[in-house]
Amino acid sequence: MANSNLTLFVFIFTIIIFHSTTLSTDNINTVTKQQNQNQDREPFVGVNIGTDVSNLVSATDLVSFLQVQKITHIRLYDANQDILKALSNTKIRVIISVPNNQLLGIGSSNATAATWIGRNVAAFYPQTLISAIAVGDEVLTTVPSLAPILMPAIESLYSALVAANLHTQIKVSTPHAASLILDPFPPSQSFFNQSLSPVMVPLLQFLSRTESPLMMNLYPYYVYMENKGVVPLDNSLFKPLTPSKEMVDPNTLLHYTNVLDAMIDSAYVSMKNLNVTDVVVLVTESGWPSKGDSKEPYATVDNADTYNSNLIKHVLDHSGTPLHPEITSSVYIYELFDEDLRSTPLSEANWGLFYGNSTPVYLLHVSGSGTFLANDTTNKTYCIAMDGVDSKTLQSALDWACGPGRANCSEIQPGEDCYEPNNVKEHASYAFDSYYQKEGKSSGSCDFKGVAMITTTDPSHGNCIYPGSKKVNNKAKAVLNSTQTSGAADDIRSITFSSIRISLLFWLLLSLFSCIFLL
Cα 140 from Cα 180, distance rounded (Å): 8
Where a domain ends, among 339, 354, 369?
354
Cα 229 from Cα 23, distance rounded (Å): 65
Sign of the dihedral through C-alpha 32, 35, 37, 40: negative
Least confident window among 112-116, 318-322, 490-494: 490-494
Q: How does pLDDT run across 268-299, given as a tens digit for each residue?
A: 999 999 999 999 999 999 999 999 998 999 99
**Both 460 and 341 in a single domain?**
no
Q: Does any domain span residue 25? A: no
Q: How does pLDDT run across 65-92, given as a tens digit for each residue?
A: 999 888 999 999 999 999 999 999 999 9
**Both 386 and 323 in a single domain?**
no
Cα 397 from Cα 412, distance rounded (Å): 15
Q: Which CATH number belongs to the domain containing residue 285 in this structure?
A: 3.20.20.80
Task: Look at residue 13 and tell me whether its pLDDT is greater than 50.
Answer: no
Cα 116 from Cα 157, distance rounded (Å): 8
Q: Does any domain span residue 365? A: no
Cα 121 from Cα 128, distance rounded (Å): 9
**Both 342 and 463 in a single domain?**
no
Cα 181 from Cα 179, distance rounded (Å): 5
Q: Does any domain span residue 338? A: yes
Q: What proportions of the chain, in percent to the nearest 5, are helix, strand and coil?
A: 50, 10, 40
Least confident window among 123-127, 257-261, 458-462, 504-508: 504-508
Position 352, amino acid? G
Where a domain ends, among 354, 374, 402?
354
**Both 201 and 242 in a single domain?**
yes
Q: How does pLDDT run across 161-171, given as a tens digit for each residue?
A: 999 999 999 99
- Residues taking part in catalysis: 138, 285
Contacts of residue 398, defined as CB under 8 A and 6 or more positions apart, other chains included, come to: 424, 427, 428, 431
Q: Number of helices and strands (H, E) in the chain?
A: 16, 15
Q: Does any domain span residue 360? A: no
**Both 201 and 347 in a single domain?**
yes
Task: Look at residue 488 and tell me whether its pLDDT is greater than 80.
Answer: no
Q: H helices of 42-146, where?
A: 59-68, 81-86, 103-108, 110-117, 139-142
CB count in 10 Å sphere of residue 136: 26
Q: How does pLDDT run across 178-207, given as a tens digit for each residue?
A: 999 998 899 999 999 999 999 999 999 999
Contacts of residue 8, defined as CB under 8 A and 6 or more positions apart, other chains included, come to: 516
Task: Look at residue 309 and tell me whether its pLDDT is greater than 70.
Answer: yes
**Both 341 and 393 in a single domain?**
no
- Residues of the chain with pLDDT > 90: what percent? 61
Cα 157 from Cα 159, distance rounded (Å): 5
**Both 425 and 347 in a single domain?**
no
Least confident window among 127-131, 274-278, 282-286, 490-494: 490-494
Q: Does any domain span residue 16? A: no
- Report pLDDT for 3: 52
- Report pLDDT for 372: 61
The average pLDDT across 338-352 equals 91
**Both 326 and 406 in a single domain?**
no
Cα 494 from Cα 51, distance rounded (Å): 44
Q: Does any domain span residue 6? A: no
The band of 227, judged by pLDDT with boundaries at 50, 70 and 90, is confident
Q: How many domains does the chain have?
A: 2
Q: Does any domain span residue 348? A: yes
Return the CA Rg of the chain.
27
The band of 244, judged by pLDDT with boundaries at 50, 70 and 90, is confident
**Both 297 and 212 in a single domain?**
yes
**Both 108 and 192 in a single domain?**
yes
The secondary structure of 238-292, three-state, reads: CCCCCHHHCEECCCCCCEECCHHHHHHHHHHHHHHCCCCCCCCEEEEEECCCCCC
Between 351 and 361, residue with greater pLDDT: 351
Q: Does any domain span residue 213? A: yes
* Cα dihedral: 361, 365, 366, 371 (round 10): 70
Q: Which domain holds residue 175?
A: 39-354
**Both 119 and 191 in a single domain?**
yes
Q: What is the DSSP string of 320-350?
A: --SS-TT----EEES-SB--TT--SSGGGG-
**Both 155 and 289 in a single domain?**
yes
Task: Look at residue 43 and tell me whether its pLDDT is greater than 80.
Answer: yes
The secondary structure of 110-123, three-state, reads: HHHHHHHHHHHHHC
